[in-house]
Amino acid sequence: MIGEFGGASRSLFEAVRAFPSGDVEAVFITARGSVLPFFEKLGRVVSAWGMSKFDHTRYGCYRGARWLILLREIAFMPSTLSAIRRARGLHRDVDVVHLNEFTGLPVLWAVRRWLAPRAVVVHVRSLANDDTRLGRTRWVHRQLRAAAAVVAIDENVRATLPADLRVDVIHNAFSPSTADTPDPEIEARLARLRPESFKLGFVGNLLHVKGIDELIAAAHLVRERGIDVEYVIVGDDANSSRGLRAWVLRLLGLQQNRRAAVEAEIERLGLGDRVHMVGFTAAIARVYKHMDALCFPSHYDAPGRPIFEAAFFGVPSIVAVRHPRADTLVHEVTGLAFEPRSAPQLADAIERLARDRDATRRMGAAAREMAERNFNASCNAAALLAVYRRVASP
Return the CATH number at 139. Answer: 3.40.50.2000
Q: 141 and 281 share a domain? A: no
The whole-angstrom distance between residue 83's C-alpha and the CA centroid of its chain comes to 24
List all residues 6 or more positions away from 355 whose beta carbon is below 8 Å from its beta carbon. 227
Whether pLDDT at 256 is above 60: no
Count of domains forming the chain? 2
Q: Is residue 290 part of a domain?
A: yes
Q: 212 and 132 share a domain? A: no
pLDDT for 328-380, tens place per residue? 999 999 999 999 999 999 999 999 999 999 999 999 999 999 999 999 999 99
Q: 318 and 196 share a domain? A: yes
Q: In what order do the strands lie in the sheet with 275-277?
A: 275-277, 229-234, 198-203, 293-296, 317-320, 335-338
Q: Is residue 300 part of a domain?
A: yes
pLDDT at 236: 84
Which residues partner with 152 through β-bridges?
124, 169
Rounded Cα distance between 202 and 19, Å, is 30
Q: pTM here?
A: 0.88
Q: 233 and 297 share a domain? A: yes
pLDDT for 180-230, tens place per residue? 777 888 888 898 999 999 999 999 888 889 999 999 999 999 999 999 999
Q: 245 and 357 share a domain? A: yes
Q: 302 and 365 share a domain? A: yes
Identify the helix (H) or strand (E) that includes residue 46: strand 44-48
Res. 251 pLDDT band, cuts 50 70 90 = low
Q: Which domain holds residue 96?
A: 7-173+376-392
Rounded Cα distance between 312 and 149, Å, is 29
Q: Which of 215, 299, 195 is nearest to 262 (CA)?
A: 215
∠180-35-71 over CA atoms, to 5°? 145
pLDDT at 239: 57
Rounded Cα distance between 98 and 29, Å, is 10
Q: 277 and 337 share a domain? A: yes
Q: 200 and 310 share a domain? A: yes
Q: Which of 346, 319, 347 is nearest to 333 (CA)?
A: 319
Q: 367 and 340 share a domain? A: yes
Which residues partner with 27 through β-bridges?
44
- DSSP letter for each residue of 257-305: B-HHHHHHHHHHHT-TTTEEE----S-HHHHHTT-SEEEE--TTSS--H
pLDDT for 18-75, tens place per residue? 999 999 999 999 999 989 999 999 999 999 999 999 999 999 999 988 898 899 999 9
Q: Is residue 134 part of a domain?
A: yes
pLDDT at 247: 46
Rounded Cα distance between 40 and 48, Å, is 14
Q: 186 and 157 share a domain? A: no
pLDDT for 278-329, tens place per residue? 988 878 888 999 999 999 999 999 999 999 999 999 999 999 999 999 999 9
Whether pLDDT at 124 is above 80: yes
Q: Is residue 387 part of a domain?
A: yes
| Secondary structure of residue 336 in the 3-state scheme | strand
Q: 219 and 296 share a domain? A: yes
* Cβ neighbours of 197 (radius 10 Å): 15
pLDDT at 244: 53
Q: Is residue 1 part of a domain?
A: no
User: Where is average pLDDT lowest: 77-91, 233-247, 341-355?
Assistant: 233-247
